[in-house]
Structure 1
Amino acid sequence: MTQAPPKFEIFVVTAPGLEKPLAAEMREAGFKKPKMMPGGVRFRGNWQDVWRANLTLRGAVKVLARVASFQTMHLNQLEGLTADLPWRSFLRTDTPVRVDVVTQKSKIYHAGAAKERVEKGLRAALDVETTDDAPVTLKTRIDNNMVTFSLDTSGDSLHKRGFKAAVAKAPMRETMASMFLRQMEYDGTQTVLDPMCGSGTFVIEAAEIAAGLLPGRARAFAFEHLATFDAAIWADMRATDAQPASARFYGSDKDAGAIRMSQDNAERSGVSELCTFTHTSVGDLEAPDTAPGIVIVNPPYGTRIGDKKPLYALHASLGRALKERFTGWRVGLVTSDTGLAKSTGLPLETPFAPVAHGGLTVKLHTCQL
């Protein structure tokens, strides 16, 4: 009988405040017993689960594989215990490693000194090069004298999917957009419209979900440089066919450049046939000839662009257009400014946790029209 691959702890990072929808996404995707933690969701799995999490989870920012831990209070012991770990099971001798260290509430309090000792331990065990521009990062956390080693299996943040060459001034990250859509109860069948679409993130994300396109389908990952990687299994895992989508997706913006960006990004993402982008202001916004669906928007707010006085009129204009022409639609508005949200005149509620975004805290305000 074939022995099952060993399981270990895997931590899926997301934006603080989005742990709950990420956990829901993971349960739906078949990841076993996901448990919410501050800043992410953990579960136990094997290396194929690591690859699948990177490939398929739309709300994940990073996937960390926790490979070892021990307790120590001395730098010499840190180096020695690091050298004793079975690094050849995870790392390749021909692939450099970057070591990052965070330490708190510990006898080993100097992160730079700890980094040097961990690097020495790695070189003793594996004779591997350690550099700050390596394709593999070993994250070392020393907390209350407990050392935990995690391999960053993602590399670049997972919101970087390889399709968005053009971005607006204050873009919504794809990972956040997907979780806000989930909180809006989007399931791939509803029409989605963004009246201030910028570079098209909400619209394109919704279209990709409807078409069954995996978020990591076209990018590279750090786990491809690990000793645990199997190229044949990975090729089979990534070979997923798109599915027909019945819904359509709409974006509009008063900035003609934003419309061109959105169209280009949709083309690169392979969903341009599902998306329509229109150069128009929110005051002239019209509902598409479809069943009522979801309006979701991340409008400018004062902390992001400076003077916010003109924004009250913009939000009021948006609210009027939605009330007059979007009866039956569900509305989601992402903002850091409750006053601006209220200026829409819409019966907005805030049923979800606030989310950390670019040094700000934003909330998803929702209502049914």
Structure 2
Amino acid sequence: MLFIKMDELFAVVTPGLESVAWNEMQELGLNPLTKESGGVLFQGDLKTIYWANLNLRTVSRILIRLGHFHASAFSELRKKAGRLPWENFINPGQPISLRATCHKSRLYHSDGVIERVVGAISDRLGSFSNHQKPKDIEDANLHQLIVVRLSNDECTISIDTSGDLLHRRGYRLATAKAPLRETLAASIILASGWNKNQPLLDPFCGSGTIPIEASLLALGLSPGQKRQFAFMLWPNYDKSLWDNLLNVIQSTHPHELPLIQASDRDAGAIEMARANAKRAGVSDFIEFECRAISAISPPPDPGFLITNPPYGLRVNSNKDLRNLYAQFGNVMRSHCKNWNTAILCSDPKLLAQIGLKLDTTLRFTNGGISVILGKGIVP
């Protein structure tokens, strides 16, 4: 049996951050249904798709799960895929790219699966040959990505609505060593429990992603308002609906921001961070300083210290960072009494050098490295 759905949506999330995304979706009124490994299932219409892409901070992309059916032969795959309403999403001559995964299925050759689905699209739309491999496409927003998944002979075909990954907000053109993706920075800020009214400090700010994302969050600035999306090329794109949603978010008046401080001992990183903050429109709301961890000067009122300090595999595998982490702990005990902390690290033993009681609240990967988020309160 072939199931065609137009309202089943899937928010793709870094595995381990599904609960953070779930909570954010609830805050935005998106009504998540179920958590799956690597994402959250929800339902909605075009307005929901636009709103999710515009506002979600923790999600990598939004997919429409277009069709689900049994397929144990290539002929069956092509026939059933050809029944899907491709004309709603693909314009004549528009480049398309496909990604296919096959698991425990008689159709186990991903290139063969892609070939048949491309054929099915041609069958539905007429002559259509503008299929390109993802690596050959310069601008992700100019092509339509289609995701095919076969598992136990059950095929799910999804349409991407986002284009470029959603962490590409458009402001981070300059990066320091081992940058943190914007979606991951937003996730650890939300997971930290920061309420947007207390001071926030990042003493290892690098190119500024954590303080910039915190400022955008506190100001209520939607992360997607300065970029393009795949759905903008669909034949049924509703520009007036999109413009109305932009007007809604741009009419929101933020409350007064708390103090947000960001520092790094690398002068080049601070220069990059300032440039990124300016592009994001939040440079007036962040105090950037070039200083070592020993020289931080947080305000007296307790706040949140949220940071992504260097760890060996991420920056220099030959460098012993235990002394830095021990110093970091001493500085926090001296300067940040009663502050909340959320610290990202790849090694629990390294995190233990800080000398604080930190609970592991998240586990995920950053740049291919397994990391944990340690949370606690400085005594």
| TM-score of the pair, normalised by structure 2 | 0.92
CA shift at 1:364, angstroms?
0.6
Alignment-mate amino acid for residue 41 of structure 2: R
The DSSP-based 3-state class of the residue aligned with 2:20 is: helix
Instruction: Name the % identity.
Output: 35
Q: Which residue of 2 aligns with 1:314?
A: 324
Q: Which residue of 1 aligns with 2:376?
A: 367
* Native 8 Å contact 1:74 1:107 kept in 2: yes
On the 8 A contact 1:35/1:43 being kept in 2, the answer is yes
1:243 corresponds to: 254
Task: For residue 244 of structure 1, report the CA deviation from its aligned partner.
Answer: 3.7
1:303, CA displacement in angstroms? 1.4
2:235 maps to which of 206, 224, 227: 227
For 2:6 and 2:78, the matched residues in 1 are separated by: 26
Conserved? CA contact 2:364–2:370, under 8 Å: yes
Q: Which runs of 4+ in 1 moved over 6 A?
A: none
Partners of 1:169 and 1:313 in 2: CA distance? 20
Contact 2:147 2:160 (8 Å CA) reproduced:
yes
Deviation of 1:157 after TM superposition, in Å, equals 1.0
Report the alpha carbon displacement of residue 331 of structure 1 after superposing the two structures with TM: 0.9
- Helix, strand or coil at the partner of 2:41: strand
User: Does residue 326 of structure 1 match 2:325?
Assistant: no
Which residue identity is paired with 2:204? M
Q: Is the 8 A contact 1:15 1:357 kept in 2?
A: no
Q: For residue 95 of structure 1, report the CA deviation from its aligned partner.
A: 2.1
Among 298, 304, 329, the alignment partner of 1:287 is: 298
Q: Look up the match of 2:102.
A: 103
Q: How does 1:183-262 map to 2 (within 5 A)?
A: 183-239=191-247, 240-241=249-250, 243-262=254-273
Match of 1:91 in 2: 90
Q: Tell me if structure 2 keeps the 8 A contact 1:207–1:248.
A: no
* Mapped partners of 2:207, 2:34: distance in 1: 33
Post-superposition CA distance 1:52-76 (Å, at most 9, x none): 1111010011111111121111111
Q: Residue by residue, what CA displacement relative to the aligned partner does 1:228-266 show, whole Å, maximum 9, x if unpaired?
A: 311111111123225243312110000000111111111
CA distance in 2, matches of 1:261, 1:169: 11
Moved more, 250-259 or 6-15: 6-15
SS of 1:91's equivalent? coil
User: What aligned pairs does 1:264-275 form with structure 2 within 5 A after superposition?
Assistant: 264-275=275-286
Q: Indicate if the aligned counterparts of 2:298 and 2:336 stay in contact, CA closer than 8 A.
A: yes
Any idea what SS the aligned residue of 2:159 has?
strand
Cα RMSD after superposing both structures: 1.5
Aligned residue for 2:159? 151
Aligned equivalent of 1:3: none
Alignment of 1:351-366 (within 5 A): 352-366=361-375
Contact 1:47–1:228, Cα closer than 8 Å, also in 2: no
8 Å CA contact 1:259–1:277 kept in 2: the answer is: yes
Cα separation, 2, equivalents of 1:161 and 1:224: 16
The one-letter amino acid paired with 2:369 is L
What is the letter of the counterpart of residue 17 of structure 1? G
Paired letter, 1:104: H
Kindly provide the amino acid, as one letter, of the partner of residue 75 in structure 1: F
Amino acid at match of 1:170: A
| CA distance, structure 1, for counterparts of residue 18 and residue 25 of structure 2 | 10
Distance (Å, rounded) in 2 between the aligned partners of 1:360 and 1:329: 28
Contact 1:26 1:34 in 2 (8 A): no
User: 1:354 is paired with a residue of what secondary structure?
Assistant: strand
Q: Secondary structure at the match of 2:235?
A: coil
Preserved CA contact (<8 Å) 2:312 2:320 = no
1:99–1:137 Cα contact (<8 Å) kept: yes
Q: How does 1:44-83 map to 2 (within 5 A)?
A: 44-83=43-82
Structure 2, unmatched stretches of 5+, are none
Structure 2 equivalent of residue 340 of structure 1: 350
AA aligned opposite 1:260: E
Q: Which residue is equivalent to 1:130?
A: 131
Q: Is the 8 A contact 2:359 2:374 kept in 1?
A: yes
Amino acid at match of 2:56: L
Moved more, 303-312 or 215-224: 303-312
Shift of 1:288: 2.7
Equivalent position SS for 1:310 = coil
SS at match of 1:167: coil
2:10 and 2:278 mapped to 1: Cα distance? 33
Q: Which amino acid aligns with 1:316?
A: A
Q: CA deviation at 1:307?
A: 3.8
* Structure 2 CA distance for partners of 1:284 and 1:310, relative to 1, 3 Å: farther
